Amino acid sequence: MVAISAIDTKNRINTTYINEGLEFTGDSLLTPETHELYYRAGNQHPLEIITLIQEDRRFNVWTDQNGYLWHQNNHNTWIQDTRTEPSPRMNDPSSNSMTRNRSNFDNAIALAKEKALIVFDSSQIINSLYNNK
């Protein structure tokens, strides 16, 4: 958002907003704030230096050289907002998950039914209703 504010000779303030058709070229007058973070992915991994850049000073959002997002909490600890490793892919062929046979799905359904009967058995309530009539 760009605004031009002017005061005329009678001390009246006139503000004009220019939002469309405006493009800025060249380097920024304010260099973005940077921070270096020393990171080790695991015990056997080498130490990695991550350079974090804050693109907009109004928000607590930082990006690293790989494009991942970070933020800093109240205790000055850096927290990565995006996952670094891709989620594992399933090797199952495309099929309806309710009809899978090779992964013991039928047994899982039977066990879930047994656990549900332990928590709440409606047959006892139904029998007591019919016996009271």
Give the predicted TM-score (pTM) of the model: 0.43
Q: Please state, in angstroms and rounded to a whole number, the distance separating the CA atoms of residues 124 and 115.
A: 16
pLDDT in tens, 22-74: 777 787 777 889 999 888 877 788 888 999 999 888 889 999 988 889 999 99
For residue 118, what are the domain limits? 104-131
CA angle 53, 56, 61 (to 5 degrees): 60
Flag whether 68 is in a domain. Answer: no
Q: Please state, in angstroms and rounded to a whole number, the distance separating the CA atoms of residues 75 and 70.
A: 14
Flag whether 95 is in a domain. Answer: no
Per-residue tokens: 62:
């930082």
pLDDT higher at 53 or 15: 53
Q: In this predicted structure, what is the pLDDT of residue 53?
A: 93
Statement: residue 100 has pLDDT above 60? no
Flag whether 111 is in a domain. Answer: yes
Number of domains in the chain: 1
pLDDT in tens, 72-86: 999 989 988 877 666
Flag whether 115 is in a domain. Answer: yes
Flag whether 33 is in a domain. Answer: no
